[in-house]
Amino acid sequence: MRASMLVGKLLMLVFWLTVILSLFGLVPVPNPQRLQMIALIVLGVHVLECLLTFGKLKKTGALGVHLVQVMLFGVLHLRHPDTVRAMNQAL
């Protein structure tokens, strides 16, 4: 399971890197408007995940680190065994 989480997180990093580089015109993409729309939707979902799990993440003590990782990886961070363990221990 950890291997699949790692692959998922790497793919998300590649996605965000592609989005950022395409905004500056450093990576040619066939349809930049579509990529930007998808990025906005993913960003919105990650913000929603942060809002829904804010209370649990706050109790872990490392709120800033967790929020940044949720903004980057979303549910892949929230369902990671280490994060789940930290949230359960904080309750």
pLDDT digits (tens, 9 = 90+) for 15-74: 999 999 999 999 999 999 999 999 999 999 999 999 999 988 898 888 999 999 999 999
Q: Supply the pLDDT for residue 42.
A: 97
Q: What is the pTM of this model?
A: 0.86
Rounded to whole angstroms, how far apart are CA atoms 50 and 57?
9
- Token pair for residue 81? 């065994």
Provide the 8-state DSSP code for 29.
-
Q: Map tokens 């800033």 to a residue.
A: 64
Q: Map tokens 């979303």 to a residue.
A: 74
Q: Residue 76: what residue type?
A: L
